[in-house]
Structures are given as C-alpha cells and as structure tokens.
C-alpha cells in the first residue's frame, strides 16, 4: 500500500508478534499507523500461524506467518502475551535473531519484558505498562516510568497498550517522513479527545488505581486457572 | 470479564459489525474499551461468520457470529466496509431490526453512512470520517463536522477511525459508570500523546490534506479494480 508512486520508499518488512491470550489492540493500534508506510509489508507472526484468541475470548486475530518465516524483519513490534505466559525460548530466540539485523526493534505494553528476557535491554532506557514497571530493572534496563515511549538507539519501547499508537506515529515519521506521518494521522482522524483523563497513574485517582490493580489481579487469577480467557 | 463481583452490571450483549475489506482498528479500537464493561459479552458479527481480511490485506479478524445469530444486541457498533462496497440489504435490515430494541446504536468512521442508508439518521445529528461528511446529508442527517462524536438520543456516531476509541469511553461511562470507565482508561494507559497534531482537517496543513485525499483516491481505485486490498 502506498500514498502514490512518488512516495515509494524502499520495500520494508514489518513483523508484529501475536500470541494466544494477548490484548488485541496492543497489535492493531500500532499496525494501523505502520501499514501506511510506503513500501511496507506488515507480517503478523506467531509461534504457530493461525487464529489467536485474544484475552477477552471475544475475538481472534490471524497470524499469517510462523516466526521462522520472517527471521529478519526491518522493523518488528513485540506485543506481550497473557500476563501469566512464560515466554518460550523459541520466541526469545526469534527476538534475538531479528534484533541482530533490524532497523528498529520495538515493543508495546508488557512486550518490553520479552525484550528484557531476550537480553536486549541491559543498560537500555525503556518503558512498559505501568503495572509491569517493576519487572524492567531485573533485566538490567533503565526504567523510564514517566515516558509514554522511549527511544534508545534502535530500540523503542512504548508504555501500556494505547501508547503503542503514539510510538507508531513516531516510527512512521522516522521511516517515511513527517508529511506521510501526518497524512496517516489525518486519515485515521487521530485527534484524541478522551472524555476524561485517567490514562496514567499520575492522572488517575487512588480509587481508580486500586480498581485497575484489582482488575489486573482478577485477570491473572483467571488466566492462571482457566484457558487464559478473562470471563 | 468483570472488575470484581461488586461491579457486576446486568448481562448485556454488544455486537460489532465486521466486513471483508474493512479497516481493522475501526472495530478493535472501540472493542478494547467496551469489553471492560462488567457483564458485557462482545460478539463480532458479519454477513457470514469467519475470517475477514482487512483493507491492507495484512491481517484477518474473525467474526464468530452471523448477523442472524445476534438480532437484538443491547449495544451495537457499525463499522464501515471497503469504501466502494455497496451495503447489502441484509446488513441494512439487520441494522434496522437491531435498532428497534437496542439501548445504544453506534457507528465509527463511515459506519454512519450505513446507519443513514438504513434510514436511521433522518433529522439526527451525526458525524463521520471527514472525507465522508458530504454523504450524511443525503440521508437526511444533520452533519456535525466539528464534532469528534455526537450523541443524539440513543444514536452515537463517531468521526473517523480513532474517534471510535473516545466514543467507546463515553459509552463505558454511560453503561458502567465513571469509575469503571476511568479504570479502563488507566489499564489501557490511554493518555494520548501524538508526536504531531494533524488528526483533523482543521489542524492539518493544506499539503497534508491533499496527501490524505490522494491516498483515499488511490484506495478507492485500488479497491474498485482488485479484490479490495490496498497494495
């Protein structure tokens, strides 16, 4: 897909990592901006190709490719799996290999924990979902809890879920230039006007933070004791 | 899925309409907020159940249900199909029937054109994607081009694509209350910080507007002459 032939960049491959039990918009948010990069092919990859049922149990996204089909993407986006999933060595090994040759290595939400587990974040400034922030330091990362997304060299990590959209626009600008990035923002009419402002722990009330923690606890219990769906 | 048992609302069914050739985040954006409503079951519906390949050709979303499986959702979200798709009478009939008994009838992006074609917008204040605004009046709607989302009675229409996220948070508040809505926003870390500000025609430069129009024109030509994918 391209704006016009005059905007054709060189062909690039963008891989987005899907998992069973993941959060759908961790992948779909960044994808919707990245797909606009002229010359880009986006490949959704997973350990096994096919439908991935998301955390709510209400929707499946299809990964067209196995990890091994896309060993050297130019750009890749690591989304987290279920909060109780232990990353497989196969996934970590794919991340390491892909990072060796990537132009950009990125993560959304708890995906930075996978980058850390793969050994990529030692001494690297990084962020993640606010509820996972404590996990970053154990991998030698320099946690940046106040940042929505953080670039350190060719690694970009985004905070929770929708921060991935903003990170993706930063990336479109880096790869395709500001005009294409802004035209993409206009086509997506991304002029956010949330009706209230509780999107970060510094904005939310103590009661709302407590509710969100309670919710996450329920999710973890539910994911640990069932097939991973939140019911 | 629920926050805790103390937050259980009555069970409600939310239907989200998928199509072949649609834009993925038109559906996934609102879904990610709406799924948090305690007691809610989200059902992705389509004319025929199964995988729906999205406009870029890079991803498929699976509709688990046929339209007829969910004739009376409490809430439904109408997403648009490909910009060249003519809505089928079956889809329009489902929209009319669902609207008869719904608590909330909603649309994202060009989905309001489907509501209009179904005859639901006569004399109703509504919005849509900025590039589709001219189409609203032909259905007797009162276009509100300056609004990100518009509520008129039980009908809520959102502007282009990501405006559906903001509309969904408004709906979560209406159905489940402000605390749940804010806790959902916090879990999604929806604290938007776009790196530039071109998300509406009033913010974008003339050159960026021109690029976006050019892009849409290419999309329409591509969708008209191929299998609907933008390549």
Interface of B with A in 66-85 (CB under 8 A): none
Yes or no, beta carbons of A189 and B161 under 8 Å apart: yes
Fold of B12-188: Rossmann fold (3.40.50)
Which of A14, A16, A33, A109 is catalytic? The answer is A109
B-chain residues within 8 Å CB-CB of A211? Answer: 3, 179-180, 183
pLDDT > 60? residue B229: no
Instruction: Tell me if chain B has a CB within 8 Å of the CB of A5.
Output: no
Distance CA B203, CA B207 (A): 12
Q: Would you say the C-alpha torsion A60, A82, B76, A193 has a positive or negative sign?
A: negative
Please give the pLDDT value at position B160.
96
Specify the 3-state DSSP secondary structure of B192.
Answer: coil
For B163-180, the pLDDT digits (tens) are 999 999 999 999 999 999
B-chain residues within 8 Å CB-CB of A197? Answer: 191
B79 part of the active site: no
Please give the pLDDT value at position B45.
98
On the CB side of B102, CA atoms within 13 Å amount to: 24
Domains of chain A, residue spans: 12-188
Distance CA A201, CA A217 (A): 17
B-chain residues within 8 Å CB-CB of A112? Answer: none
Give which of A189, A194, A197, A207 to mutate to test B binding, by max B Cβ within 10 Å. Answer: A189
Question: Mean pLDDT for chain B?
Answer: 93
pLDDT > 70? residue B227: no
pLDDT > 60? residue B212: yes
Q: Using 70 as the pLDDT threshold, list the residues of chain A that sit under it.
A: 1-8, 226-231
Min distance B166 CA to chain A CA atoms (Å) = 5
For A83-95, the pLDDT digits (tens) are 878 889 999 999 9
Yes or no, beta carbons of A196 and B181 under 8 Å apart: yes
The vertex-A215 CA angle with A210 and A221, nearest 5°, equals 125
Please give the pLDDT value at position A220.
83
Average pLDDT over residues B76-80: 98
Instruction: Tell me if chain B has a CB within 8 Å of the CB of A137.
Output: no
Query: What pairs with residue B15 in β-bridges?
Result: B43, B76
Q: Are A2 and B211 in contact (CB under 8 A)?
A: no
Which of B67, B109, B136, B168 is catalytic? The answer is B109
Question: Can you read off the two tokens belonging to residue B176?
Answer: 């489940």
Interface of B with A in 179-208 (CB under 8 A): 179-183, 185-201, 203-205, 207-208
pLDDT > 70? residue B69: yes
Please give the pLDDT value at position A85.
83
Instruction: Tell me if chain B has a CB within 8 Å of the CB of A49.
Output: no
Distance CA B25, CA B16 (A): 12
């Amino acid at each position: 897909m391209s704006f016009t032939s005059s905007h054709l960049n060189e062909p690039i491959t963008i891989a987005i990592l899907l998992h069973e039990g993941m959060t759908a918009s961790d992948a779909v948010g960044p994808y919707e901006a990245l797909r606009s990069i002229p010359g880009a092919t986006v490949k959704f990859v997973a350990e096994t190709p096919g439908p991935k049922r998301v955390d709510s149990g209400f929707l499946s996204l299809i990964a067209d490719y196995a990890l091994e089909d896309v060993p050297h993407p130019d750009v890749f986006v690591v989304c987290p799996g279920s909060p109780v999933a232990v990353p497989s060595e196969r996934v970590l090994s794919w991340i390491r290999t892909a990072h060796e040759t990537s132009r950009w290595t990125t993560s959304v939400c708890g995906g930075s924990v996978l980058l850390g587990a793969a050994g990529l974040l030692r001494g690297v400034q990084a962020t993640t979902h606010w509820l996972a922030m404590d996990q970053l330091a154990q991998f030698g990362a320099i946690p940046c809890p106040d940042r929505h997304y953080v670039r350190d060299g060719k690694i970009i990590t985004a905070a929770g879920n929708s921060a991935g959209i903003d990170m993706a626009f930063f990336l479109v600008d880096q790869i395709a230039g500001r005009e294409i990035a802004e035209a993409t923002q206009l086509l997506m009419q991304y002029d956010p006007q949330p009706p209230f402002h509780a999107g970060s722990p510094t904005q939310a009330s103590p009661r709302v933070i407590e509710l969100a923690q309670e919710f996450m606890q329920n999710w973890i219990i539910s994911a640990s004791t069932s097939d991973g769906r939140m019911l």
